């Protein structure tokens, strides 16, 4: 089945807007259940966390397709790698800090050096599990994963994009990390275009092909807040360009081109300002002969105390108003 049809399967009973409002963990399970209708090679290897992932649909279609490793993420990656090497299409989900930092050695050896086509899935990335403290805040995962050679790193904005990414990775298995952030309750849905790994999506552009005052690139669910910040800047008379970055590695070269045609380039992410999308864009812009100023918006370079996600985002300045104020201050 084409990956577009596979991605559409989990939303057959819901429209895209309803699917995007689901908890991302439920959307993950439904997406894999839909993919499994036409892919008997799909398997999920979990580390205790599986009971929260709505995997009943997958289990009913493919009995034995879910393997429980207990609270042992390093073993989880080893088991997933062994299955992938035997031809199964394997997804290994867990809390984002555990399936990246805790298993970094297993990821670099099995997915990087051995090129096992396992898809690691980081759930609750960013501040989503912040009420449990800094140990559960995934704010370094992009920096860890994008440093592993050959690893595809995907950062969907919505559940619909997540379903498309999972379908594409099942159709064309490769070593990958899918980072799932969950927008706080009350954040509006953001209509997105067709998703394809490796391609960015221009949401708005006040001066296509030419210079603007501000060009913003964002990844994950924080994109909806960055787009709202761009709207606030337009109310102040600034010409803006808004780009959704669904894949951090490989980075679409258009991202650098689009940000390069601006007085100020801005990155926004629910990740540390060190090593994530902002660091990647900085590296890429510096390779140009002439680059604009760059403002990286994200979590501070430090560990925050436990709190609810929306309050942590506010403390990090990652509200539409906070981002717009930081951009205006930088522009002077």
pLDDT band at 49 (very low <50, low <70, confident <90, very high): confident
Q: Give the model's pLDDT for residue 321.
A: 98
Q: Give the model's pLDDT for residue 8.
A: 53
pLDDT band at 289 (very low <50, low <70, confident <90, very high): low
Determine the average pLDDT of the residues in 205-223: 97
Determine the average pLDDT of the residues in 277-301: 90
Q: Give the model's pLDDT for residue 16.
A: 78
Q: Give tens-digit pLDDT for 223-276.
A: 999 999 999 999 999 999 999 999 999 999 999 999 999 999 999 999 999 999
Q: Give tens-digit pLDDT for 303-314.
A: 999 999 999 999
What is the pTM for the complete model shown?
Answer: 0.94
Q: Over pLDDT 90: what percentage of the chain?
A: 83
Determine the average pLDDT of the residues in 201-206: 96
Q: Give the model's pLDDT for residue 290.
A: 65
Return mean pLDDT, the chain: 93
Please, which residues have CB within 8 angstroms of residue 240's CB and are 6 or more apart in sequence? 204, 206, 212, 213, 214, 215, 216, 230, 233, 234
pLDDT band at 1 (very low <50, low <70, confident <90, very high): very low
CB 119 within 8 A of CB 42: no
Please, which residues have CB within 8 angstroms of residue 183's CB and are 6 or more apart in sequence? 221, 222, 224
> CA 270, 136, 65: angle at the middle one, nearest 5?
95
- For residue 64, count CB atoms less than 10 angstroms from its CB and return exposed for 0-12, middle for 13-18, buried for 19 or more: exposed
Partners of 91 in the beta sheet?
A: 44, 119
Determine the average pLDDT of the residues in 112-131: 97
The DSSP code for 113 is I
pLDDT band at 15 (very low <50, low <70, confident <90, very high): confident
pLDDT band at 11 (very low <50, low <70, confident <90, very high): low
Q: Is 64 left (phi over 0), alpha (psi -120 to 50) or beta?
A: left
Q: Give the model's pLDDT for residue 2.
A: 52
DSSP per-residue string spanning 194-262: ---TT--EEEEESSTTS-EEEEEEE-STTHHHHHHHHHHHHHTT--EEEEE--EEETTPHHHHHHHHSE
């Amino acid at each position: 089945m084409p990956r577009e049809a596979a991605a559409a399967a989990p939303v057959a009973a819901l429209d895209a807007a309803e699917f995007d409002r689901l908890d991302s963990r439920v959307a993950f399970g439904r997406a894999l259940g839909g993919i499994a209708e036409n892919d008997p090679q799909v398997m999920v290897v979990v580390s205790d966390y599986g009971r929260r992932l709505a995997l009943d649909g997958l289990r009913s279609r493919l009995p034995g397709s879910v393997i429980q490793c207990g609270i042992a993420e390093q073993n989880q990656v080893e088991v997933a790698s062994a299955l992938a090497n035997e031809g199964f299409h394997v997804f290994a989900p867990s809390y984002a800090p555990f399936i990246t930092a805790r298993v970094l050695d297993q990821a670099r050896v099995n997915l990087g050096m051995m090129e096992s086509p396992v898809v690691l899935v980081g759930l609750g990335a960013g501040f989503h599990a912040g009420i449990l403290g800094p140990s559960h805040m995934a704010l370094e995962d992009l920096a860890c994963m994008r440093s592993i050679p050959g690893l595809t790193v995907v950062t969907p904005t919505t559940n619909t994009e997540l379903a498309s990414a999972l379908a594409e990775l099942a159709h064309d298995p490769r070593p990958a990390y899918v980072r799932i952030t969950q927008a706080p309750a009350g954040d509006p849905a953001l209509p997105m275009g067709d998703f394809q790994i490796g391609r960015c999506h221009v949401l708005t552009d006040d001066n296509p092909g030419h210079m603007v005052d501000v060009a913003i690139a964002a990844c994950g669910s924080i994109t909806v807040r960055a787009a709202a910040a761009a709207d606030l800047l337009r109310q102040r008379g600034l010409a803006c360009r808004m780009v959704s970055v669904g894949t951090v590695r490989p980075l679409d070269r258009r991202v650098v081109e689009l940000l390069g045609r601006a007085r100020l380039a801005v990155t926004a992410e629910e990740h540390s300002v060190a090593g994530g999308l902002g660091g990647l864009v900085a590296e890429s812009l510096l390779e140009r002969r002439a680059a604009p100023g760059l403002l990286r918006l994200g979590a501070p370079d430090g560990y925050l105390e436990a709190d609810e996600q929306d309050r942590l985002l506010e403390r990090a300045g990652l509200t539409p108003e906070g981002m717009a104020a930081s951009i205006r201050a930088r522009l002077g």
